[in-house]
Amino acid sequence: MNDMTQQKLYAGVKDFVTRGLPGLPNGPVALIFAEDETELDTTLRHHQQLGFKAVVGFMPDSFALPPDLVRSVHRVRHDLTAEGALETAVNAVIKAAPERWFYYCYNAEYLFYPFCETRTVGEMLAFHAEERRDAMLAFVIDLYAGDLAQFPEAVSLDTAYLDKSGYYALARPDPNNDNHPKERQLDFFGGLRWRYEEHIPAPRRKIDRIALFKARPGLKLRGDHTFSDEEYNTYACLWHNNLTAAIASFRTAKALKRNPGSTFDIDTFRWHNSTPFEWHSRQLLDLGLMEPGQWF
């Protein structure tokens, strides 16, 4: 390995925040957590192409990467099977780099935001920050292969489908305020987690995730994809709607087909509200699955 490659390998999260994080270029950083090797390379490349200043992959040593990603991705040894492994890593990064924007997702998940084909993620977050927003709500939109006989793990980029309807929101109760609804916070549902909810534990049925956020001292990511600062968990500011994003994700479909308790109940994920995924932000905007806010 050459020196450049060697500099992008880290023994763990502590090593990364000590040696790697301080030297990253200014700008937003993508944190990709690899649960397995499924579409890991396309996930990393997709986020590189969005304009993140650095892409960091958290994965075991056994996961293979092609040569171009070995050279360009900051690779951190990390085991996601441990309880709270993702939150532990994200919170360590937050503590080490206040004021920097971060994004996080899993492998086989792809970030889309309004006009992402022609505008970088840095441009989008600069506008969002001008509106005095330090976090952005994203909806995890389930993708699934159209033909499970051909793709038994439900993952196919070329024949991906999504649900074009069936999404809804409920008030988010505040246990510290007699379960009254929290201000400007909602729990969002839909997709495969809604259609196959009998196979999904109740705490994991929501599809909302605060996936883009600005780190600051004392901030903590919680296990339900929300943050310790309640303003980070709001979908909009007080005066108008804000930008939201979407994460096109094969993660739920993959899990449902790998789980022995659900795989034999599912011959196909397609139904009357399925439509081919076009891999373009315009489709997600037209379906109302993300919001451009005041950004035109």
Is residue 52 a contact partner of residue 46, using CB atoms and an 8 Å limit? no
Is residue 39 a contact partner of residue 54, using CB atoms and an 8 Å limit? no
| pLDDT given for residue 174 in this prediction | 87
- Domain borders along the chain are 1-107, 109-296
| pLDDT given for residue 215 in this prediction | 98
Cα(279)–Cα(288) distance, integer angstroms: 15
| pLDDT given for residue 180 in this prediction | 87
The pair of structure tokens assigned to 175 is 């246990």
| pLDDT given for residue 116 in this prediction | 97
Segments of the chain with pLDDT less than 70: 1-7
**pTM for the structure as a whole:** 0.95
| pLDDT given for residue 13 in this prediction | 97
CATH class of 1-107: alpha beta
| pLDDT given for residue 7 in this prediction | 54
| pLDDT given for residue 238 in this prediction | 79
